[in-house]
Amino acid sequence: MGSTRSSHSNAYMYGFFKNKRIVLYDTLIQQCKNDEEIVAVIAHELGHWKLNHTMYSFIAVQILTFLQFGGYTLVRNSTDLFRSFGFDTQPVLIGLIIFQHSVIPLQHLVSFGLNLVSRAFEFQADAFAKKLGYGSALRAGLVKLQEENLSSMNTDPWYSAYHYSHPPLVERLAAIGEPDKKAD
């Protein structure tokens, strides 16, 4: 039971290769009006699996971690940087503090970029569920979950883009409701 500590309902997929799992909170199962809404949520999560979103996210985090270690190494080995802050030696802790403060603007940009990617993944997983024929059930399930979780209904687009990893409900419903584009 994923919801033993919360009344929020959620579903997510995790794992790689043969160890993938889809987790549905018991509150999600209780809140959905019918089995088709639950299957639509599962279809959305299967979209994340089919489109390799977990693997892409994992790789992105590994690359970012590697870049952070590399950036710290550059700061740690820069005697000029330490001297500019008044240090004749290069204490490890001071190097870490300088690095943390110098990358804050980059962290904001990376966080914004990761949220944009995550939001695109959500739209793709919604489209996958819609392609399987669960568009209307997914719409109904998303509305129900939004109501039950008491999520904000009308967020500022810029605030939402920066702070939220999932698009607002209105945007998701509009995307699900768009007619499918036929290849010419």
115-140, pLDDT tens digit by residue? Answer: 999 999 999 999 999 999 998 898 98
Q: Rounded to an integer, what distance in angstroms lies between the CA atom of residue 12 and that of residue 6?
A: 15
Give the pLDDT band of residue 5 (cuts 50, 70, 90).
low
Q: Is 178 a catalytic residue?
A: no
For residue 85, being part of any structural domain is answered with yes
For residue 184, being part of any structural domain is answered with no
Structural domain total, the chain: 1
Q: Which of 88, 126, 147, 171 is catalytic?
A: 126
Where does residue 20 rank: exposed (0-12), middle (13-18), buried (19+ CB within 10 A)?
middle
What is the model's pTM? 0.79
Instruction: Tell me which residue range forms the domain holding 164.
Output: 11-177
Range in 5-14, 28-37, 82-91, 98-107 the model is least confident about:
5-14
For residue 183, being part of any structural domain is answered with no
**Cβ atoms within 10 Å of 122's Cβ, excluding its own:** 20
> Which amino acid would we find at residue 37?
E
For residue 16, being part of any structural domain is answered with yes
Residue 24 backbone phi and psi in degrees, to 5: -115, 125
For residue 131, being part of any structural domain is answered with yes
Q: Is 171 a catalytic residue?
A: no
Q: Rounded to an integer, what distance in angstroms lies between the CA atom of residue 102 and that of residue 104?
A: 6
Tell whether 48 is in a known binding site.
yes
Average pLDDT, the chain: 84
Q: Which of 26, 35, 36, 45 is catalytic?
A: 45
